[in-house]
Amino acid sequence: MKVQRIDNSTAKIQIRVKNDIPEYTLRSYKIQYYTIDNTLMEIALPVLKPGDTYATELKHVNSGFAFKIIRPNGFYVTKY
């Protein structure tokens, strides 16, 4: 995962699905973050196969640039 700060309220993130054992396709995952005004935002990830990369921008992201990647069951995989 790569995180790049564009300006004080925008971050560009890049997620790469691992391509080793155990490998699996990600379905129904999402990115979740709070904006500057404390509004919860969610970005649905497309279906990602092992080795795939996905990039997006988090607009109006909180000052800590904090976000989570959430599994379909609601638990988080990782947080930044």
pLDDT digits (tens, 9 = 90+) for 23-51: 889 999 999 999 999 999 999 999 999 99
Domain boundaries along the sequence of the chain: 2-72
Mention every residue, 6+ apart, whose C-beta is less than 8 A from residue 54: 14, 15, 45, 46, 48
Tokens representing residue 63 in the block = 């000052």
Write down the pTM of the prediction: 0.87
Q: Which fold has domain 2-72?
A: Immunoglobulin-like (2.60.40)
**Is a pLDDT exceeding 90 seen at residue 63?**
no
Tokens representing residue 74 in the block = 């609601």
